[in-house]
Chain A
Amino acid sequence: MKYYDKLIFELSRKGRTGFSLPASSSDSIGTETLPAVLRRSSAPALPEVSELDVVRHYTNLSQMNFGVDTGFYPLGSCTMKYNPKINEEIASMPAFQGLHPLQAEWTTPGAKAVYEGMDRALAAITGMKHFTFRPCAGAHGELTGLMIIREYHISRGDLKRTRIIVPDSAHGTNPASAAVCGLEIVEVKSNADGLVDVNDLKPLLDDTIAGIMMTNPNTLGLFEKDIRRIAELVHEAGGLLYYDGANMNPLIGMVRPGDMGFDVMHLNLHKSFSTPHGGGGPGSGPVGVCARLVPFLDLCVSGFHGNFGVILRAYAYILMLGKQNVGMCGKLATLGANYIKESLKDLYKLPVSSICKHEFVFDGLVNDGSGEGKEGATTLDVAKRLLDYGYHAPTIYFPLLFHQSIMIEPTETESKETLDGFIEVMRTIAGEAAANPDILHGAPHNTPIGRPDETLAARNPILKYQDGCDC
């Protein structure tokens, strides 16, 4: 990667064009004939550049980026698996790209077949009855699922159920989704094994509880063994169980949320089903429900039919997987995570040592090199040093249960050689920290930029390009 310091605006030259449009005819009636009050007073300050300017600029920008095709992402709770190329080809077929979202269903049989096929496949994999595909991301799916839970209680006249239980280890979106769904959050604590504490849960269950949001395996990568008891207790109290599908990957082909008693769930097609993250989206967060909630499934949470292009990619992946390969997906993801954990636990603190699922959490270095006035190496330092060695960093400082969390998830698409390479680098970094933590404090050293001044960015926000402003 090399540093490239241009913004497209800085390439602009008046009169240069990158578009190809028919010339206006001389007797044409243009937008100038609109009343002046409806027209903008000056043209927008968009760049004026040639096609090659554009191609070269964005190619240069791309070369400052890391992606799955560049290298390994041990990124906990993000499931950065390989994105198959055939999926891209399918999603770009003109007969799909040209469909208008308001076309009548009888004019789009091919699209209908995609939705029906995906509904059947996801129902088979999760044990839910049906899915809605309108949510555009995981957090959007959470919000939709919670709306379904609320609508269920409202439909029964059970209006006081406005509180939802969320474990302290939950993804940050869980409480945020609940809050914007008008629910009050009740936190349930984790026990010493990192699991939801059933004894802590029991007294919380009364007739104001709408349900509980669970991530299973949870964000420590641990299977919530007491899920049967939890489901019984919540259902007896009249609540529903929400399954956060962010961690579904280890269960694919092994365990179905529907069988564990979950009533509502979302999936992240950009995690479990191999669609690309795109630098932060577009994703897709279909929501599945059990039979009794099907009447509440059709909520209007986005403009049209959800992110069809993403759904197509996921469907292509599921067809490749088929019933023959689906059983290996979760197992191989789990194998990789345990392999890394066992290979590093002598150098990184492992707060919970049991078998993990697709991910696990270290709590910082065993020997951070601190002492004699020397600051030890932190989790942030380890993460930044990994960038120097050509790896993406793990998820850090999450979950909040530990101070130095390093959350690692390898996914099933990474080979043993890749994992071995990562393990070796993690061991090298632990050695560097013990010998001279300053190497880590200054990291990264080999990336296009060093650690930027984030305090400056927040204190003096510069959020758009201003001509002539070097700032």
Chain B
Amino acid sequence: MAGFPYFPQTDEDIRLMLNRIGVSSLDDLYADVPADYIYKGEYDLQDAMTEQEVRSFFEDLASRNPRLTVFAGSGAYDHYTPSVIPYITQRSEFLTAYTPYQCEISQGTLRYIFEYQSMICTLTGMDVSNASMYDGPTAAAEAMRMAVVSGRKKGTVLLSKTLLPHVRRVVETYSRYYGIKTAYIETLSGQTSADGLKELLCSGDVAGVLVPSVNRYGIIENLTGFADMIHEAKAMFVLYCDPSTLSVLRTPSEWGADVAVGDGQSLGIPLCYGGPYVGFMSCRKEYMRKLPGRIVGQTKDAAGRRSFVLTLQAREQHIRREKATSNICSNESLMALWVTVYMSLMGPEGMKRLNDICFERSHYLYNELLKTGKFREVFPGAPFLKEFVMEPLTSVSGLQKRLYDAGFFGALETEDGYVSFCVTEKRTKEEIDRLVATING
């Protein structure tokens, strides 16, 4: 079609093709559609733009978003993205490929997913990982359904009140329509209350328990005794984790969890207003066949060459249809590649050093903020890694506005009226000092 770069058909092509089909016009191809369903008006779209106009259009939109220095986390973390990652993930062989059903021409995709699964397993200590899911909250919701499916006849899941609110909301939505009851475990000193958990487990109807590893206050939870309690009640223990921190923190496996879920965004994926991110989900071997989502496995071809395929597919929607326990039919493949390249570059040493830097700088900010006299400690002595909350002694909206005007995004308000700050390795000491100076006025 003349003048449009994505439609290659010339008038002559169209004529020849219509001839072969045996109709005289393109409209004849819609003869089976009742005439009054053919849209006759002009589509309410803007005039077609040239590529240059499209670029200017978005440059204009982009310029309306002020660039802020991010001191906020709460489920989306501003870690640095090494330039190798977009370079690799933009390779069209990865970017424009379909789901790797035709394994003979998809070994690239299948191999990096296998590597991804291996890396998620070593981070979490779990035996099996799926090929990734939409995001952390949906992975958590899928894990809760998995708990109920595995738990036979039991229909309640317990959620810690210290989970990030967006995780709780998504689990609530999924549970409501599948018919799962949810109950909340109380908080004690900013952590999931073990006594609260014990009490709720007594009902006998609990199929699964979801607790964060690092919680919405930034506190690293001490989950000693949780696994025993949960397993005694024959329930599934699911831990919601920030995978970046797992390179130094006690693993879900070490805590005795059965399933680990979370969002891979912290592994170098840009904030990008919330997506695309990548949910991860891994579990102990016993639950392998209950794990939702795609899984890649290793095998051989007839010549004995190491080969990779999508495997254990009998669990999935295209085979089990209405009997499937998940409807997921894709993964976030390219984002799984993203975090795989990230972890390859970082290695164990880089991941450790990254967390040390976050730790050091966030503690520096914590102390500097206390010195301003404008905050009070909420959970003194509670261990944190890169994120923490404080009680503001001034108006939150005034504080946020002042930060915004100085080019910062931080002091996110929690449900209980605290403000949270997050410091990643991207934040320099100079930026931290400027943030504190802004607050000091």
Contacts and interface: CB of A to CB of B under 8 A. Distances in A.
Interface string B32-64: 111001110011111111010111011101111
B270 A101 contact: no
Interface string A273-312: 0101111111100000000000000011111111111101
A66 B118 contact: no
Given A35-B383, A38-B249, A95-B65, A339 B135 contact: no
Nearest to A111: B273
A312 B359 CA distance: 34
B75 interface: yes
Contacts of B196: none
Q: How large is the interface on A (under 10, 10 to 19, 20 to 34, 35 or more residues)?
A: 35 or more
A54 B6 contact: no
Contacts of A256: 39
B93 A180 contact: no
Interface stretch (A199-207, A363-371, A427-435, A449-457): A449-457
A355 B100 contact: no
Contacts of B222: 35, 37-38
Nearest to B271: A100
Interface stretch (B197-205, B228-236, B299-307): B299-307
A69 B93 CA distance: 7
Interface string B158-186: 00000000110110111011110000000
A199 to B, nearest CB: 19
Contacts of B325: 180
A95 B45 contact: no
B54 A319 contact: yes
Contact of A342 (B22, B169, B353): B22
B276 A309 contact: yes
A416 B8 CA distance: 8
Contact of A67 (B94, B170, B363): B94
Contacts of B92: 67-70
A303 B136 contact: yes
B108 A65 contact: yes
Contact of A415 (B8, B45, B337, B357): B8
Interface string B253-268: 0100000000100000
A324 B48 contact: yes
B24 interface: no
B58 A39 contact: no
A103 B322 CA distance: 39
B150 interface: no
A454 B275 contact: no
B425 interface: yes
A159 interface: no
Interface in A319-372: 319-329, 331-332, 334-336, 338-339, 342-343, 354-355, 357
Contact of B263 (A73, A303, A321, A458): A303
B173 A147 contact: yes
A323 B44 CA distance: 7
Contacts of B271: 97-101
30 contacts: A18-B84, A25-B360, A29-B363, A34-B220, A37-B224, A41-B254, A44-B348, A49-B345, A97-B270, A102-B74, A102-B76, A120-B44, A136-B138, A136-B276, A177-B327, A255-B30, A280-B131, A282-B334, A303-B137, A303-B274, A310-B275, A319-B53, A322-B49, A331-B29, A336-B17, A338-B29, A354-B32, A457-B309, A458-B314, A461-B312
Given A46-B346, A416-B9, A449-B307, 8 more contacts: A98-B78, A124-B43, A137-B329, A181-B177, A306-B274, A320-B49, A325-B4, A465-B114
